[in-house]
A and B are shown apart, each in its own frame.
Chain A
């Protein structure tokens, strides 16, 4: 037997509410099946299973809100008989999600020195960074809260309870809450999630930045030619070339495609986290899996499917935890350059500004050509500027040869 646990879908997730079971006890499960829908700060997420077996029993009910890592259901793995339960968690497929969860549970005293400084200001209060941020934003007195987290640490739920009490409303509901739909998830919670992840990144990751201006004439000419022959619904956007060119450039700089968990762990799969802005503010970063193995057309097809789903807050669990590097692209008519903040536990983010016309020296002559300013933010614990520089050079070469992408 194994327990299926509430997965962590990011540095900021502390708990999830089970909205609906998608499988019944006795059902045969195959890897990739959706077992449940869980409401999180990032919307209504479909939770996938990564092991074959049979759903033995439910351990929580629809409407229950449980912390990350809590058992949700008992499973009988394929080929095993009914024996004593092991504590081996099923939701371990995603390596990337593990350190996120581990680090987010740290209390200030266990974390970086900059956090220690904050904890000195409010002595002897153990509190998660997310909970502290919410408390500060809402003017909640931390000394009045009893923590229910590990070692008595104050977690987000404790602060929310204090907020309800402060507002003079009955604070009766403990763990059981009525499941709501994705539409009712406030954008504010996504903002809070982004705030927590980015604050942690800036606190813990020593970023270094590099920038390269890349001539886009060859790529844009190729794209125009390709799009001319296609109907409008099959046309490609420049960002597809960026994604493919980055994925391909990682072949020569694999150390940028990894996660930091007490050391660099290079990942074999190239799963590009693609930053999608939400109209009401905040952003989500779902993964484009195996981007190095996909053609530009296949990447465009993924975007066509993924972006509307992300904007409707309907993503799958693995899509939020599988990324191995992130791309942020401003599209047209935006800022010329963007310098990203690494999404932990990844070790690099590549930023593409708008494609603009600039005066460049080409073959000894001054010319006006379309260019894009590309930045790389790297985790200096994991790599050095030389790796980053090599990567940007490979990226440049790839974009000069769009045919080969």
Chain B
């Protein structure tokens, strides 16, 4: 799984979660939930959708590694190996 594929999936699912926002404008170190105004319920649904699309399980103790675009992409890339 390439980094590009992971990131385009992230953008696609973020757009679905927060349709009125532009996920592409996120900086790598920006907190995704704060920047796109995503609540706890939608945050969980976003991770569920990532899991379904990429087939990567994200244990609850790793949620803290998924807060920014950079850390989430790194994490998923590492887990997909």
Q: Do A and B come from one complex?
A: yes
Per the bound structure, the CA–CA distance linking A312 and B33 in Å amounts to 20
Selecting from B4-12, B22-30, B44-52, B72-80, the interface stretch reads B44-52
Chain B 13-52 interface 0/1 with A at a Cβ cutoff of 8 Å (1 = within): 0000011100000000000011001011100110110011
Would you call B58 and A232 a contact (CB within 8 A)? yes
Contact with B along A209-242 (1 / 0, CB 8 A): 0000000000000001001100111010111000
A152 CB within 8 Å of chain B:
no
> How far is B38's CA from A295's CA once the two chains are assembled, in angstroms?
26
Q: Which residues of A contact B33 (CB under 8 A)?
A: 333
CB of A272 to closest CB in B, whole Å: 15
Q: Which B residue sits closest to A223, measured CB to CB?
A: B60
Chain B facing A: main interface SS: helix
Please report the total number of A residues contacting B with Cβ < 8 Å: 19
- With CB as the reference atom, state the residue of chain A lying closest to B34: A333
A238 and B43 CA atoms in complex are apart in Å by 13
A307 adjacent to B41 (CB under 8 Å): yes
Known: A232-B47, A232-B51. A331 touches B57 (CB 8 A): no
Partner of A227, one of B39, B40, B60: B60
Decide if A280 is an interface residue (CB 8 Å cutoff): yes
How far in angstroms is the closest Cβ of chain B from A318?
22
Instruction: Find chain A residues with CB under 8 A from B48 CB.
Output: 232-233
Q: A331 with B60: in contact, given A232-B48, A233-B51 (CB under 8 Å)? A: no
Cα–Cα, bound, A332→B47 (Å): 16
**With A231-B57, A233-B48 known to touch, is A331 a contact of B18 (CB < 8 Å)?**
no
| A303 at interface by CB-CB < 8 Å | yes
Counted as pairs of residues, one from A and one from B, with CB atoms less than 8 Å apart, the total is 40
With a CB–CB cut-off of 8 A, which chain A residues contact B47?
A: 232
Complex contacts, B60 vs chain A, CB 8 Å: 224, 227-228, 235
Contact, CB under 8 Å: A331 / B39: yes
Chain A residues whose C-beta falls within 8 Å of the C-beta of B20 in the assembled complex: 279-280
B41 pairs with A235, CB closer than 8 A: no
B41 & A237 in contact (Cβ 8 Å cutoff): yes
**Closest CB of chain A to B56's CB: distance in Å?**
10
Is A30 in contact with chain B by the CB < 8 A criterion?
no
Choose from A227, A228, A232, A303 the contact partner of B41 (Cβ within 8 Å): A303
Chain B proximity of A388: nearest CB distance (Å): 26
Q: Determine how close the nearest CB of chain A comes to the CB of B63; give it in whole angstroms.
A: 10
Most chain B beta-carbon neighbours within 10 Å: one of A239, A280, A333: A333
- A188 to nearest B CB, angstroms? 15
| Distance in Å: Cβ of A232 to nearest Cβ of chain B | 5
Q: Is the CB of A332 within 8 A of B40?
A: yes
Q: How far is the CA of A73 from the CA of B27 in the complex (A)?
A: 56
* A332→B38 CA distance, assembly (Å): 10
Residue in A224, A280, A331 with the greatest tally of chain B CB atoms within 10 Å? A331
Known: A232-B48, A232-B51, A280-B20. A237 touches B58 (CB 8 A): no
In the complex, chain A residues whose CB is within 8 Å of the CB of B51: 231-233
**B47 nearest in chain A by CB position:** A232
Which B residues lie within 8 Å of A331 (CB)? 39-41
Cα–Cα, bound, A303→B57 (Å): 22
Are the C-beta atoms of A277 and B57 separated by less than 8 Å?
Answer: no
Name A277's contact: one of B19, B39, B58 (CB within 8 Å).
Answer: B39
CB <8 Å contact, A279 and B37: yes
Q: List 30 A-B contacts (CB under 8 A).
A: A224-B60, A224-B61, A227-B60, A228-B59, A228-B61, A231-B51, A232-B47, A232-B48, A232-B51, A232-B57, A232-B58, A233-B48, A233-B51, A233-B52, A237-B40, A237-B44, A238-B40, A277-B39, A279-B18, A279-B19, A279-B20, A279-B37, A307-B41, A308-B45, A331-B39, A331-B40, A331-B41, A332-B40, A333-B33, A333-B34
Give B residues with C-beta under 8 Å from A.
18-20, 33-34, 37, 39-41, 44-45, 47-48, 51-52, 57-61
